[in-house]
Structures are given as C-alpha cells and as structure tokens.
Amino acid sequence: MDGYFWAVLAVGVASTLVCVAAGAKGYGPNDITILSVAAVELTLLVYLGGSIVSAVAGGGPAGPAWEFWGYLLTALVIPFAAVYWSLLERSRWSNFVLAAVGLVALVMTARMNQLWYGPDLMNALGWPG
C-alpha cells in the first residue's frame, strides 16, 4: 500500500461518513456532501498525475498496464456519475449514493495498488490475495 492508497482511504472514508451522516439526518445532497465527493475526485486526479509521472519515469505498473489505467479512468468517472445521479433527485437517498463513492474509490485503489506493484511485492507487504 502506497501513499496514494492511504490518501484515498482517508479522503474516501471521510467523504462516506459525511454523506452517510447527511443522509441519516434527512438532508438531500448539499455543498458539503458534493464537495466531499469532489475531494475524492481530486485525490484520484493526484493519483493519476503521480502515476503518469511514475510511468514516464520508467516504473510502470507491474501488472497489466491497461487494466491499471482502466481502473483509474473508471474510478475518475464514478464521482461525476454519482453527483449527476444524485442531483436528479435531491432526496436523502442521494446522499447514500454519494456515500458509496468513497468506498468504491477505496476498493478500486486497493486493486490499483495490487496492479501497480504486482503480486510479488504485494505478498511481501502482507496484502492478501
């Protein structure tokens, strides 16, 4: 697990908690919940930028490259899709949709870390599977 993973973990979990709390209180999507999702997007954009620099510098993903980049680009689209879907109906449930973004980003980043470092290094780091 690298710094990008821990960053997505921190921002993603925070965003999920904020959105769940807002949904539980009965609020619809508001500036705070949408900005928390934007923070997840920003973190993923930093991951994208950092990954491009690392790949150009010679250290591309150890696993299949297009699978890694496919995950990253999909992860970058999901926050936009979630915000779009949530704004079509501004009920409390849309905040639960936004809450899912942080968790999905976290799971996808864990997989991207696996793909970037490859199975050998992941085993060395004690990451299962």
Partner 1 sequence: MAPQRTKPPTPGKSARSSGPGRLIVAVYAVFAIAATARAGFQIAVGFSHAPVAYSLSAFAAVVYILAAVSLARAGTRWFWTSVAAVGVELAGVLAVGAYSVFRSVPLPDATVWSGFGQGYGYVPLVLPLVGLWWLYHNRAERKH
Residues that bind partner 1 (CB under 8 A): 26, 64, 67, 70-71, 74, 78, 81-82, 85-86, 89, 91-94, 96-97, 100, 104
Q: How far is the CB of 57 from partner 1 (least distance, A)?
A: 26
| Shortest CB 15 distance to partner 1, Å | 15
**Looking at beta carbons only, is 64 or 118 nearer to partner 1?**
64
Token pair for 128: 């299962």
- Minimal distance, residue 21 CB to partner 1, in Å: 16
Q: Phi and psi for 26 in degrees, rounded to 5?
A: 90, 10
First to last CA, the chain: 13
Return the number of the residue (58 or 128) whose C-beta is nearest partner 1: 128
Residue number with CB closer to partner 1 (6 or 90) = 90
3-state SS, residue 1: coil
Which DSSP letter does residue 104 get?
A: H
**CB atoms near residue 5 (< 10 Å):** 19
CA–CA gap between residue 6 and residue 28 (Å, rounded): 29
Q: Check: CB of residue 95 under 8 Å from CB of residue 20.
A: yes
Q: Which is nearer to partner 1, 32 or 104 (CB)?
A: 104
